[in-house]
Structure 1
């Protein structure tokens, strides 16, 4: 379940009609993913969604471990050493991804107003500015003697998300 409805996204971006819904849906997913990655935590629309994911976690991890064991057994039976190593590497990577996802779920967070505001800011920025750099050729924006000016756009997202961010571990 997304953190915001399409109607909330349309209102925030001041869009009348549903002509940009597909874009908004993609940008909302990107904004939510960016917030989650920044926080190093899985984000959920509410506590019920988090609880559902946590309830499923033991079965998902058991399946990941079983899949890893089967893949390693298949790799051990492989006679080509390079192929066997690649099979083990893939199995290890898949288990590492499942383990990392598990850790993010265990630190999962139901979205609060600050997180939703940060996601809205990201969404609005992504919608209004399809590029990371704004280039202007407007006469009032350009210094004398310059043909154009480029500048990076600021974000207020970090200030909203910092209180909920987990510290990086070495």
Structure 2
């Protein structure tokens, strides 16, 4: 179950006309990217988290979605949507601060070495 709804994604991207399947792919990718950074599974609500815990599929340190997680996912979604290719040519490029990482870092577990 996605944490970001199609309505939220469309409002964030300010593009109500794009293909639903494509936008869902980007939503799923943004959410998975955020969860991979956190090293934990994130659930939309207590019921879905409880069901995952009951069948042993919640992983270590599962958490409920919160505002910083959703905001980080929307930032990642916006990046994926705006940059549809790996390479950009003929334009001036500047790196933006990693706002999504700043939002996610307090919830990250298993930093490693």
Q: What is the TM-score when the length of structure 2 is the normalising length? A: 0.87
Bigger share in helix: 1
Question: How far has the Cα of 1:14 moved from its partner?
Answer: 0.5
Pairwise CA distance, 1:48: 1.4
Deviation of the 1:153 alpha carbon: 5.1
2:67 is matched with: 113
2:30 maps to 1:37: no
- The equivalent position to 1:155 in structure 2, one of 53, 77, 98, is 98
**CA–CA distance in 2 between the matches of 1:15 and 1:163?**
31
Larger Rg: 1
**Counterpart in 2 of 1:24?**
23
Deviation at 1:135, TM superposition (A): 3.1
**Inter-partner Cα distance in structure 1 for 2:54 and 2:59:** 10
Q: Which runs of 5+ in 1 are unaligned?
A: 58-101, 138-148
CA deviations on 1:35-81 (whole Å, 9 max, x unpaired) are 00000001111121111100111xxxxxxxxxxxxxxxxxxxxxxxx
Partner of 1:65: none
Worse overlay, 20-29 or 126-135: 126-135
- Whether the aligned pair in 2 keeps the contact of 1:41 and 1:109 (CA below 8 Å) is yes
How far does residue 20 in structure 1 lie from its aligned partner after superposition?
2.0
SS at match of 2:110: coil
Look up the SS of the partner of 2:89 in the other structure.
Answer: strand
Question: Superposition RMSD on alpha carbons, in Å?
Answer: 2.0
2:9 corresponds to: 9
Which residue pairs with 1:130 in the alignment? 84
* CA deviation after TM superposition for structure 1 residue 151, in Å: 4.9
Secondary structure at 1:106's aligned position in 2?
coil
- Which stretches of structure 1, 4 residues or more, deviate above 6 A after TM superposition? none
* Structure 2 unmatched runs, 5+: none
